[in-house]
């Protein structure tokens, strides 16, 4: 009998410990819930993190953000899924400086995958988690007016700069924020596919990070969150840098500490902060509930970029 009493007491102590731990978490989160109440948070969700439990965790995080008073806006990518569909349809892919050359046949597939399959998967996931999401592309309501992205390369023989034709690859020229404000006023969570429309009705494939940064700037968001597949910006010893000013970020690009695919992400973050976004953050989207860790805890989870 004494053994049963001891076991029962031990179980009660474990339960109480869990309750106290939960209470501490809620108390720690409360100031941040108040800080972000009514604030717009733009989140870029990458194509590499859209399967299994990661997608479920992401959907739950977005719903909780909405329920605690934030106004999340999701912009998603889909490079791996586009590549897989092009391969399946035997449409060749060519890349120049990391950008997919997009002819009309490829553009049709890009729009189908981004605005169709992926967009609706994310919307469905958020709705299944208890939210009310609506999917749209940059073409809807002229949300993202785009122009052709111009690039040039140095000819190794003549050493002259020559233009490179990337086809229907674009960049945002104008964001129409009223489209998104209409959804937010209706208590809906916008989920945006990075497809824009040109002045003459052309359809453009746009980098999702770039769209997210432009949307964040146009909406004067409190924060831009770029989810990626690394933990953040690393110093030359491979350690995470938790905070960077704009000046420090530019210096790390100049000295080569920030390199490769991280450069355009940091440049997007810099542009967003200069456009009026309070802060941008690079996060590892593979970490379970990383959005909650970043927004609701003191230590954060990635690399935060601010004006100072």
- 292 band by pLDDT with thresholds 50, 70 and 90: confident
- 296 band by pLDDT with thresholds 50, 70 and 90: confident
Residue 1 has pLDDT above 80, yes or no: no
Residue 7 has pLDDT above 70, yes or no: no
Residue 53 has pLDDT above 70, yes or no: no
Average pLDDT over residues 242-269: 91
pLDDT for res 222: 96
What is the C-alpha separation between 52 and 62, in angstroms, rounded? 16
pLDDT for res 52: 59
- Tell me the domain boundaries of the chain: 39-306
Fold category of 39-306 in CATH: Carbamate kinase (3.40.1160)
Out of 93-97, 163-167, 213-217, pick the least confident.
93-97
Residue 292 tokens, joined: 């909650």
Average pLDDT over residues 40-48: 87
Give Cα 203 distance to the centre of its chain: 22
* Contact yes or no for 146/196 (Cβ under 8 A): yes
pLDDT for res 273: 97
Residue 16 has pLDDT above 80, yes or no: no
* Contact yes or no for 205/110 (Cβ under 8 A): yes
pLDDT for res 21: 60
Site of tokens 């052309």: 202
Out of 21-35, 41-55, 139-153, 239-253, pick the least confident.
21-35
Mean pLDDT for all residues in the chain: 88
pLDDT for res 60: 94
Average pLDDT over residues 135-139: 96
Average pLDDT over residues 240-248: 94
Which residues are 225's β-sheet partners?
43, 281
pLDDT for res 17: 63
Query: What is the number of other CB atoms lying within 10 angstroms of the CB of residue 190?
Result: 24
Residue 287 has pLDDT above 90, yes or no: no
Nearest of 266, 282, 272 to residue 211 by alpha carbon: 272
pLDDT tens string 96-129: 777 788 899 999 999 999 999 999 999 999 999 9
Residue 76 has pLDDT above 90, yes or no: yes
Residue 297 has pLDDT above 90, yes or no: no
pLDDT for res 158: 73
Nearest of 45, 214, 77, 43 to residue 144 by alpha carbon: 214
What is the C-alpha separation between 217 and 215, in angstroms, rounded? 5
Relative orientation angle of helices 246-254 and 262-274, to the nearest 10 degrees: 150
């Amino acid at each position: 009998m004494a053994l049963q009493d001891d076991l029962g007491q031990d179980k009660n102590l474990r339960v109480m410990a869990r309750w106290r731990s939960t209470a501490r978490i809620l108390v720690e989160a409360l100031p941040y819930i108040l800080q972000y109440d009514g604030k717009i948070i733009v989140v870029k969700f990458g194509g590499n993190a859209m399967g299994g439990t990661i997608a479920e965790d992401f959907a739950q995080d977005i719903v909780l953000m909405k329920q605690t008073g934030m106004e999340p806006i999701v912009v998603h990518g889909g490079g791996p899924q586009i590549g897989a569909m092009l391969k399946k349809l035997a449409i060749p892919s060519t890349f120049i400086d990391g950008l997919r050359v997009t002819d009309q046949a490829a553009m049709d597939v890009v729009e189908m995958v981004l605005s169709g399959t992926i967009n609706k998967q994310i919307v469905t996931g958020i709705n299944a988690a208890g939210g009310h999401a609506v999917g749209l592309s940059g073409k809807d309501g002229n949300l993202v007016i785009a122009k052709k992205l111009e690039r040039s390369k140095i000819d190794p023989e003549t050493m002259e700069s020559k233009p490179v034709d990337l086809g229907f690859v674009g960049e945002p020229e104008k964001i129409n924020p009223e489209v998104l404000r209409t959804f937010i006023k209706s208590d809906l969570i916008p989920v945006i596919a990075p497809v824009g429309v040109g002045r003459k009705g052309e359809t453009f494939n746009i980098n999702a990070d770039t769209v997210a940064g432009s949307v964040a700037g146009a909406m004067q968001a409190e924060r831009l969150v770029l989810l990626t597949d690394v933990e953040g910006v690393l110093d030359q010893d491979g350690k995470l840098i938790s905070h960077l000013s704009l000046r420090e970020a530019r210096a790390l690009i100049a000295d080569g500490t920030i390199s490769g695919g991280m450069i355009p992400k940091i440049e997007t973050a810099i542009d967003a902060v200069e456009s009026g976004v309070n802060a941008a953050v690079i996060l590892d989207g593979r970490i379970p509930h990383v959005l909650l860790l970043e927004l609701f805890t003191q230590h954060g989870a990635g690399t935060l970029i601010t004006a100072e």
